[in-house]
Amino acid sequence: MPELPEVETVVRGLQALRLPGRRIQRVWLDCPSMVAPLAPAEFARRLQGRRITGVARRAKYIVISLSGGWTLLGHLRMTGQLAALASGAPRDRHQHLVIGLDRGLELRCRDTRKFGRWLVTDDPGAILSRLGPEPLSRDFSAAWLRGRLRHTARRLKPLLLDQAFLAGLGNIYVDEALWAARLGPMRRADSLTAAEAARLRLAIRRVLSQGIRHGGTTLGEGLGNFKLVSGRQGGHQRWLQVFHRAGRPCRRCGAVIQRLVVAQRGTHICPVCQNGNH
DNA sequence: ATCGCAGCCTGTACGC
DNA sequence: TGCGTACAGGCTGCGA
């Protein structure tokens, strides 16, 4: 599942291709729901002929700036992948959106479950402004987190998954951050001490930074699993402490990692390290 | 204010 | 071996 580190890895891959200046020549798609609410023809018309002026990331969104003040916003959701390929490269049936650039390069959005969303808009702020702060930015300060935690009774797991609270975490990195901070997923936010809030903030920043350093997490060999723009796999799966490690020993205390369901999500904890008031 | 659930979708893992 | 079924999960929208 692409979360902040995976999207950052994709965006860095795109940035290495030096896309700014390239012109969009052709747009092909076969899955209208992936560009909804725009009709496919309107989506293509808005892209056609524009030049790419920049590539960036905000939370889990890929933000591709275009000439004329337009922006292509991409969200990979569960199984989305973005590949840069020569225009002659063979297609496969999971490539649902192809953006053809000049000089024979294509951006191909591959998405086995078709949950990903792509939008061309002249007002990206309408979407991006609803997001909470970037966890790796200065906005995510100890004072800010402490202040916000104090005023909500929500449980840590659903709170950290809420993109309007903090933007970019998903199921993997929330579980990893809670383990690193030695906090239980069911802990009420307003029950955290200042020291625990500080620990949580550092843990979040650490697991995200590590995820980026390792090029994101690719779990298993499935068709929809995370890939870099180059098609390679990420490397952070070797560093996971709890996620998908149920039944195996905690690397900190040796207790058996458990899988439970919290906020309708598979949740992985060390029952000994994270035993705080459930 | 906060939670729970359905829906979107299809590959995968499991049971028989 | 092959079939059927449950499950996985980011996000939205709805109802409790």
Closest CA to A177 of A133, A136, A221, A128: A136
Q: Is the CB of A71 under 7 A from strand C?
A: no
pLDDT of A173-185, one tens digit each?
A: 999 999 999 999 9
Cβ atoms within 10 Å, residue A120: 21
- Rounded average pLDDT over A184-204: 96
Asked if A52 contacts A24 with a C-beta cutoff of 8 angstroms, the reply is yes
Distance A253 CA to B8 C1' (A): 40
Q: Is position A2 annotated as part of the catalytic site?
A: yes
Asked if A156 contacts A184 with a C-beta cutoff of 8 angstroms, the reply is yes
pLDDT value at A223 more than 80: no
Report the pLDDT value the prediction gives residue A243, as an integer from 0 to 100.
Answer: 94
List the single protein residue with the shortest CA to C1' distance from C8: A266
Report the pLDDT value the prediction gives residue A211, as an integer from 0 to 100.
Answer: 96
Q: What is the model's pTM?
A: 0.96
Q: Is the CB of A23 under 7 A from strand C?
A: no
pLDDT of A89-99, one tens digit each?
A: 999 899 999 99
Catalytic-role residue among A114, A205, A251, A265: A265
pLDDT value at A148 more than 80: yes
Q: Is the CB of A222 under 7 A from strand C?
A: no
pLDDT of A113-125, one tens digit each?
A: 999 999 999 999 9
Asked if A81 contacts A227 with a C-beta cutoff of 8 angstroms, the reply is yes
Helices of type H across chain A: 4-16, 40-47, 125-128, 142-150, 156-161, 171-181, 194-213
Q: How confident is the model at residue A278 (pLDDT cuts 50, 70, 90)?
A: very low
Q: Please, which residues have CB within 8 angstroms of residue A86's CB and are 6 or more apart in sequence?
A: A104, A105, A106
Residue-wise DSSP of A183-213: --TT-BGGG--HHHHHHHHHHHHHHHHHHHH
Distance A90 CA to C8 C1' (A): 29
Asked if A198 contacts A166 with a C-beta cutoff of 8 angstroms, the reply is no
Q: Is position A60 annotated as part of the catalytic site?
A: yes
Distance A130 CA to C14 C1' (A): 20
Q: Is position A265 annotated as part of the catalytic site?
A: yes
- Rounded average pLDDT over A223-251: 91
Report the pLDDT value the prediction gives residue A270, as an integer from 0 to 100.
Answer: 95
Asked if A22 contacts A102 with a C-beta cutoff of 8 angstroms, the reply is yes
